[in-house]
């Protein structure tokens, strides 16, 4: 969780604008008696920005399917770009390649049993496995049902039919649970559309512009008393893009 | 091989709100105190750096500041007819981790218990009769009264920067210890941290029901 591999120098090098704004100023000095503490001054655990480049986890076919799904969940229209252009597939790819994809940190020891809805996550299948097996099963379903066409080749109406079928449980995928997969990719697409752009989605802060969210701003004191007035400043990312 | 550490007067296990206050009180008395905490050291400028503290995915969704269920979790069920299963991913219940404990996500609200809460068994019996309390229900009076605890509530609220004058101001009236008090949601305050002039001013502005 605390990434001690990141030095202050590297952090500052990657965040030049915030550094000027006082990023990483030390806390007020204080004295501790009795020896050293298990942390270093100015040690931080900043987010690690996603790098552009090839897919880290998805195959090209998987990525194309995820982009197509993201574009049906959040279609592009007059109000702005859709899920694909906003980078939702890149976001999900990077998430699956990291700790989220492995459910690292979650309690994943056996025995596994089916629980009630209120007992929450009980599956041994981690997200990266879920995506791989469900995307393969989805492709299989589409090719069987639509004369050899995979999900990407379907019309928007057909794609919506498939996604609706997954959502309401009418379409059973070979790998088990299409509804669980739908819920996962819906949640991750929404995360990708609205999480900070450092994670690869929300490109050009499209999600935040759409809903008028000011982003990673910290101090609203100058605006709190200005009732019924729109917040005047544009959204800003953690990296102050 | 076991490592023998220097002897201390007091060892505080868990440095959240409670442990931190204890440690402060004890060191103020001149005792040599060491605190033991599972998880990382936390410091405002680094762990809550304003550059990335608003990261909702990291903190609000992936729960970066909390205990990892892989470190330790618990099982639960909603009734004895169900099989208890481990909590694998936190939901509504999010235990803290590291220095500060669950205080890193406290909501800044410290509601006083009602005076009747401290004598809940007596209170329910007086109000509804002894048969109201089922045999298997083990609730008890606390053994400490609201009036005894009230100065410590006041002290904590001052320390934590909480003020409940909108809810219930006892002063300058004599304190009541029953639900007949104008209190609805929280026990009455004997004394406001900001002084009685602040209470009077608030009452004059009708912020407080008199």
Last-in-domain residue among B83, B105, B127: B105
User: Is B11 near chain A, with CB under 8 Å?
Assistant: no
Does A31 or A18 have the greater pLDDT score? A31
Looking at the domain assignment, is residue A221 inside a domain? no
Last-in-domain residue among B105, B124, B149: B105
Looking at the domain assignment, is residue B138 inside a domain? yes
Looking at the domain assignment, is residue A196 inside a domain? yes
Looking at the domain assignment, is residue B5 inside a domain? no
User: Is B50 near chain A, with CB under 8 Å?
Assistant: yes
Looking at the domain assignment, is residue B170 inside a domain? yes
Looking at the domain assignment, is residue A194 inside a domain? yes
Looking at the domain assignment, is residue B21 inside a domain? no
State the ipTM, two decimals. Answer: 0.81
Contact indicator for B124, B118 with CB cutoff of 8 Å:
no
Q: What digits encode the pLDDT tens for the residues B56-67? A: 999 999 998 888
Looking at the domain assignment, is residue B7 inside a domain? no
pLDDT of residue A39: 52
Looking at the domain assignment, is residue B14 inside a domain? no
CB proximity under 8 Å: A 46-85 to B: 46-47
Across residues B111-127, what is the average pLDDT?
A: 92
**Nearest residue in B to A191, CA atom:** B57
pLDDT of residue A214: 93
pLDDT of residue B81: 92
Looking at the domain assignment, is residue B152 inside a domain? yes
Assess whether B125 and B163 both reside in one domain: yes
HEC letters along chain B: CCCCCCCCCEEEECCCHHHHHHHHHHHHCCCCEEEECCCCCCCHHHHCCCCCCCCHHHHHHCCCCECCHHHCCCEECCCCCCCCEECCCCCCCCCECCCCHHHHHCCCCCCCCCHHHHHHHHHHHHHHCHHHCCCCCCCCCCCCCHHHHHHHHHHHHHHHCCCCCCCCECCCCCCCCCCCCCCCCCCCECCCCCCHHHHHHHHHCCCCCC
**pLDDT value at B128 more than 60:** yes
Does A217 or B157 have the greater pLDDT score? A217
Assess whether B147 and B198 both reside in one domain: yes
Assess whether B120 and B179 both reside in one domain: yes
pLDDT of residue A79: 94
Assess whether B121 and B162 both reside in one domain: yes
pLDDT of residue B91: 87
Mean pLDDT (chain B) is: 80
Looking at the domain assignment, is residue A12 inside a domain? no
pLDDT of residue B124: 95
For A93, the token pair is: 């790819």
Cα separation, A223 vs A42, whole angstroms: 31
Looking at the domain assignment, is residue A132 inside a domain? yes
Across residues B191-195, what is the average pLDDT?
A: 48
Q: What digits encode the pLDDT tens for the residues A122-154? A: 999 999 999 999 999 999 999 999 999 999 999
pLDDT of residue A43: 54
Contact indicator for A241, A18 with CB cutoff of 8 Å:
no
Assess whether B136 and B185 both reside in one domain: yes
Looking at the domain assignment, is residue A104 inside a domain? yes
Number of domains in chain B: 2
Contact flag A196-B76 (C-beta cutoff 8 Å): no
Of A10-24, A163-177, B102-116, B173-187, the poorest mean pLDDT is in A10-24
Long-range contacts of B176-181 (CB under 8 A, 24+ apart): B176/B115, B177/B115, B177/B145, B177/B146, B177/B147, B178/B115, B178/B116, B179/B114, B179/B115, B179/B116, B181/B115
Domain extent, residue A153, equals 60-108+121-210
Assess whether B71 and B131 both reside in one domain: no
Please provide residue A121's backbone torsions phi and psi, each rounded to the nearest 5 degrees.
-55, 125
Looking at the domain assignment, is residue B163 inside a domain? yes
Residue B13 to residues B20, B28, B77, B86, B95, Cα–Cα distance (Å): 10, 18, 29, 25, 16
Number of domains in chain A: 1
Q: What digits encode the pLDDT tens for the residues A162-216? A: 999 999 999 999 887 899 999 999 999 999 999 999 999 999 999 999 999 999 9
Chain centroid to Cα A90, Å, comes to: 9
Q: What digits encode the pLDDT tens for the residues A81-90? A: 999 999 999 9
Domain extent, residue B187, equals 115-204
Contact flag A115-B85 (C-beta cutoff 8 Å): yes
**pLDDT value at B200 more than 90:** no
Please provide residue A215's backbone torsions phi and psi, each rounded to the nearest 5 degrees.
85, -145
Assess whether B122 and B192 both reside in one domain: yes
Assess whether B96 and B161 both reside in one domain: no
**pLDDT value at B36 more than 60:** yes
pLDDT of residue A5: 40
- Closest residue by Cα to residue B75 from B93, B96, B63, B102: B93
**CA diameter of chain A:** 75
Across residues A41-46, what is the average pLDDT?
A: 60
Looking at the domain assignment, is residue A218 inside a domain? no
Whole-number percent of chain B with pLDDT over 70: 78
**pLDDT value at B187 more than 80:** no
Whole-number percent of chain A with pLDDT over 70: 81
Query: Residues 6 or more apart from A63 whose CB is under 8 A from it?
Result: A55, A89, A93
Across residues B92-97, what is the average pLDDT?
A: 85
Last-in-domain residue among B87, B105, B123: B105
User: Is B74 near chain A, with CB under 8 Å?
Assistant: no
Contact flag A47-B52 (C-beta cutoff 8 Å): yes
**What's the CA angle centered on A34, arms A32 and A39, to 5 degrees?**
60
């Amino acid at each position: 969780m605390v990434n001690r591999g990141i030095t202050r120098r590297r952090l500052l090098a990657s965040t030049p604008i915030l550094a000027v704004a006082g990023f990483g100023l030390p806390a007020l000095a204080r004295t501790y008696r009795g020896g050293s503490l298990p942390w270093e001054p100015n040690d931080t655990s900043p987010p690690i920005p996603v790098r552009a480049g090839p897919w880290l986890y998805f195959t090209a076919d998987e990525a194309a399917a995820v982009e197509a799904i993201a574009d049906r969940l959040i279609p592009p229209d007059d109000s702005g770009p859709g899920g694909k252009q906003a980078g939702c597939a890149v976001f999900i790819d990077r998430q699956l390649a990291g700790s989220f994809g492995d459910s690292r940190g979650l309690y994943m020891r056996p025995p596994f049993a089916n629980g009630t809805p209120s007992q929450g996550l009980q599956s041994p299948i981690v997200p990266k496995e879920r995506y791989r097996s469900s995307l393969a099963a989805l492709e299989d379903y589409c090719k069987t049902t639509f004369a050899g066409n995979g999900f990407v080749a379907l019309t928007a109406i057909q794609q919506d039919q498939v996604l609706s079928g997954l959502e309401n449980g009418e379409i059973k995928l070979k790998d088990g649970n299409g509804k669980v997969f739908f819920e996962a990719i819906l949640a991750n697409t929404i995360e990708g559309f609205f999480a900070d752009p450092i994670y690869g989605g929300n490109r050009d802060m499209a999600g935040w512009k759409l809903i008028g969210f000011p982003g990673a701003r910290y101090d609203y004191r100058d605006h709190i008393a200005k009732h019924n007035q729109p917040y005047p400043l544009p959204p800003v990312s953690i990296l102050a893009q | 091989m076991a490592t023998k550490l220097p002897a201390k007067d007091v060892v505080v296990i868990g440095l959240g709100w409670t442990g931190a206050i204890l440690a402060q009180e004890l060191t103020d008395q001149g005792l040599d105190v060491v605190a033991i905490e599972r998880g990382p050291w936390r410091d405002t400028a680094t762990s809550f750096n304003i550059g990335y503290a608003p990261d909702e995915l990291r903190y609000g969704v992936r729960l970066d500041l909390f205990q990892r269920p892989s470190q330790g979790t618990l099982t639960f069920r909603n009734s004895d007819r169900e099989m208890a299963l481990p909590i694998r991913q936190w939901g509504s219940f999010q235990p803290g981790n590291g220095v500060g404990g669950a205080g890193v996500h406290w909501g800044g609200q410290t509601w006083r218990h009602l005076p009747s809460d401290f004598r809940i068994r007596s209170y329910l019996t007086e109000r509804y009769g002894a048969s109201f309390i089922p045999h298997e229900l083990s609730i008890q009076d606390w053994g400490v009264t609201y009036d005894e605890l009230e100065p410590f509530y006041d002290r904590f609220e001052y320390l934590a920067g909480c003020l409940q004058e909108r809810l219930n101001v006892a002063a300058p009236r004599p304190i009541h210890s029953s639900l007949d008090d104008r209190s609805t949601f929280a026990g009455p305050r004997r004394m406001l941290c900001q002084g009685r002039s602040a209470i009077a001013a608030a009452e004059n502005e009708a912020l407080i029901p008199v």
